[in-house]
Structure 1
């Protein structure tokens, strides 16, 4: 029988275990996907530990919001897909039921997209959530345009790296924010036009220098916490702040500073919108074809039986912001 990762209590990586479950067919409007690989997302660790912003019913909860595989079966009424098609999971809002940490999962046909030609299985497992989040926040929400200076926090992470690549593809100018000056060369190689290291310089002063005194047109805050106030000082009056992350658990002060348009963003806002998903998929396919968009993948690839080790690597920060991938075979 197919294997699936579940957990019956909240806790560390050790609460996850592999069980076997009968293979079920897809319902009307659904597809069954044979998972080839999935990426470990910080949301998975939050769900597993009991820190998820949404309730996770126990026991026998599943995990996984990222993954790629092959359509294995079509439910009644499904059109536009065929068995054997290589796909990426575009949205798994009910991961505790349909999570990708498994050899098979079923989900609505509208929640898969074609895997771009040119992406191997490992890269395809790691690409969608980071790039769709960054695209949704910057293009759909903030209306990023060519020439915009875009300040990106947590730039070493998956979404941050994707944001810089997407900005480059649009013709915008990504400015990376990092806590460590030692990461400057890495971030420049990842696509940043300039790097602001908070351990050596003031954010507002540095951004002013990189933008000719104008300030950032768009600030993508993937961190939150008290550091947001420094970001606001780096934005131009009339600019846009997109709040799309919560890596810093400390309280975030109410924005004070120049007048800004402020958006709060969560990826399901667009990944559950069929029209937006089509735009995202087309943008991703074009970027991959042109060589402009590519996920950064961690060197170590894990198997389903070693998924706990993959979670430990994530929590210890050994991945350096690159996506950790697990093969389902």
Structure 2
């Protein structure tokens, strides 16, 4: 049976309604492997907001690969293993574990023939599911702390959507830097379990958005103290709207507010009040991972990812818990059904929904 890819023929904001498992025969490409290309077997891939935007036709980077019937191969991120290389490829060898360098490569598939120049090598000492989070999970968390503002040990950071992959990793990287983290989360059943997860990640203060909206910094005694002492220097927002507005007001004068997402929807507004702009002189900016990575060479990016792998291996970083979706290579309908279920979960606004990650193999070999 030919390997499968997850594809779509027309754009839709409801990805689960248009994504299908389609046979993706790479035999001809394999036989005629271009000299500067490699055959990659994907091992795992996450479902990220950028993927859903691409399916909806609202992301600037379009899928670059299609099947003969014209359907687009979805997916921007993932981890793969090099199976075969073209005769002129010198940067990769069979067995190398790789990440995509750019978006649009169609990572939601079992096999792909790709230019060697579009791939970055990572060390093999990492499980595939964790490896699939390195680029779009670990890297933005680290760079949000490294590139946006100079942070010193003892500084405080506030994040919203605290149980997201990136906020969890921000808390862990902050702890490595000697910084402290405030995390806001929505109220939910199992709130204490959520608090336990965040404390394990090194979060110092956990407060619900509902309590913060109702009581301000007074929702937590320690939070009230550090706000009064003007110690929160960086607010990292992935929601925008009211949630972003609330954490912006926790910043000390001269603080920085950085936005990297819009989980609250495209119409969210953060109010630029006189207090924030004139009295506190808060700096507002956005973050784009592609822009920050473009300032680093391929070698620098590979060394950064290798450092992440080493930190995981030493126990200094712990990959976030995700929902793993196991790829069924033998049943097209079962695979399509599991993909739709995962995409429905990924687009759900239900509180506490975890990131969906497809696993095509369980252990690197």
Q: Same fold (TM over 0.5)?
A: yes
* Structure 1 length-normalised TM: 0.86
Which is worse superposed, 102-111 or 33-42? 102-111
1:283 equivalenced with 2:307 (yes/no): yes
The residue correspondences of 1:209-248 to structure 2 (distance < 5 A) are 209-210=225-226, 213-248=229-264
Match of 1:10 in 2: 11
Whichever structure has more strand as a proportion of its residues is 1
Deviation at 1:30, TM superposition (A): 4.4
Structure 1 gap ranges (5+): none
Which is worse superposed, 203-212 or 154-163? 203-212
The residue correspondences of 1:192-207 to structure 2 (distance < 5 A) are 192-201=203-212, 202-205=215-218, 206=220, 207=223
Task: Quote the Cα distance in structure 1 between the aligned partners of 2:177 and 2:183.
Answer: 16
* Structure 2 length-normalised TM: 0.79
Task: Quote the Cα distance in structure 1 between the aligned partners of 2:224 and 2:86.
Answer: 55
1:319–1:260 CA distance, 2 compared to 1 (3 A): closer
1:186–1:21 CA distance, 2 compared to 1 (3 A): closer
Asked if the contact 1:142/1:240 (under 8 Å) is kept, the reply is: yes
The residue correspondences of 1:1-329 to structure 2 (distance < 5 A) are 1-11=2-12, 12=14, 13-23=16-26, 24=29, 27=34, 29-52=36-59, 59-75=70-86, 77-87=88-98, 89-94=99-104, 98-105=105-112, 106-109=114-117, 111-115=119-123, 117=125, 119-180=126-187, 182=191, 183-201=194-212, 202-205=215-218, 206=220, 207-210=223-226, 213-249=229-265, 250-253=267-270, 255-256=272-273, 257=276, 258-272=280-294, 273-274=296-297, 276-303=300-327, 305=335, 306-316=338-348, 320-328=352-360
Q: Give the number of equivalent residue pairs.
A: 324
Task: Quote the Cα distance in structure 2 between the aligned partners of 1:247 and 1:35.
Answer: 28
Structure 2 gap ranges (5+): 329-334
Deviation at 1:173, TM superposition (A): 1.0
Task: Quote the Cα distance in structure 2 between the aligned partners of 1:286 and 1:186.
Answer: 22
Asked if the contact 1:204/1:230 (under 8 Å) is kept, the reply is: no
Task: Quote the Cα distance in structure 2 between the aligned partners of 1:321 and 1:167.
Answer: 24
What SS does the aligned partner of 2:253 have? strand
Structure with bigger gyration radius: 2
